[in-house]
Amino acid sequence: MTTAEKIEKINNELENYPTLLIAVSKTKSVEEIKGAYAAGQRHFGENQVQELNEKQAQLPDDIVWHQIGHLQRNKVKYIAPYVGLIHSVDSLKLLQEINKQALKVGRIIDCLLQIQISGEDTKFGLEYADAIDLLRSEEYKGLENIRIVGLMGIASNTPNEKMIKEEFHDLNVLFSGIKESFFKEDTAFKELSMGMSSDYKIALEEGSTMVRIGSLVFGERNYDNK
Ligand SMILES: *Cc1c(COP(=O)(O)O)cnc(C)c1O
């Protein structure tokens, strides 16, 4: 199957869901991204700032770039001028830095809080209680150049589908609780970024609005730098 055919196949599967395909292009070349772009794909996800910057400079301006990987504070300034959505906010300090850099370039940057949903402690993300504390803090309330539009989570890397389903389900429950408590009148808070190549079908059933799919679109990565 060509990249275009793979994208079409996934989009057909997403048709009955309120879910957007984010093509995860990390480690893939500008030429490969152009192939997906030619097939109509406009949302791409990257996890390394330097790689993202290099690609952004060479590709069309109507691409929406998603920063999906762990983001270091000192790198925020490089993507602040153009990034469409940052999926990986895992601390108040990072959010404050995004706000500062967004203010400098006169933007409001959309962000997701990354929540730790898997039992594996190798993954980044906020604990549930820390996410609530962040949203309650005075510091957060003062940030005018960021907008939190939802939550993101990465399920355990396991063949146990029941476990993955429970993790996605719990994230959706947290999402509803946070929506009710902090964003009740805010229609922008509506995104639930969950699901990758191996588990997006489960994520769709559990209410995902954004799936981040790499290998199923572009083929296996030669080296895995996630
Ligand atoms: C690499 C990556 C993906 C995509 O992974 P695939 O298994 O190739 O679909 C999704 N989300 C994050 C955060 C990633 O780093």
What is the span of the domain harbouring residue 23?
Answer: 3-218
Helical segments of the chain, H only: 3-14, 30-38, 49-58, 76-79, 92-104, 128-136, 138-141, 161-182, 200-205, 215-218
Q: For residue 224, is it within any domain?
A: no
Q: For residue 223, is it within any domain?
A: no
Structural domains counted in the chain: 1
Q: What is the pLDDT of residues 7-60, one digit of tens each?
A: 999 999 999 999 999 999 999 999 999 999 999 999 999 999 999 999 999 999
pLDDT band at 123 (very low <50, low <70, confident <90, very high): low
**Is ligand 1 within 6 A of the CB of residue 70?**
no
Instruction: Provide the 10 A C-beta neighbour count for residue 64.
Output: 14
Q: What is the pLDDT of residues 131-160, one digit of tens each?
A: 999 999 999 999 999 999 999 999 999 999
Cβ(73)–Cβ(101) below 8 Å: no
Q: For residue 190, is it within any domain?
A: yes
CATH number at 52 reads 3.20.20.10
Q: What integer pLDDT is reported at residue 8 of this predicted model? A: 96
Q: For residue 168, is it within any domain?
A: yes
| Distance of alpha carbon 211 from alpha carbon 5, whole angstroms | 18
Biggest CA–CA distance in the chain, Å, is 51
Cβ(113)–Cβ(73) below 8 Å: no
Give the Å distance between the CA of 125 and the centre of ligand 1.
15
**Is ligand 1 within 6 A of the CB of residue 68?**
yes
**Is ligand 1 within 6 A of the CB of residue 212?**
yes
Q: For residue 225, is it within any domain?
A: no
Q: For residue 61, is it within any domain?
A: yes
Q: For residue 226, is it within any domain?
A: no
**Is ligand 1 within 6 A of the CB of residue 152?**
no
pTM assigned to the model: 0.96
Q: For residue 162, is it within any domain?
A: yes
Amino acid identity of residue 48, one-letter, is Q
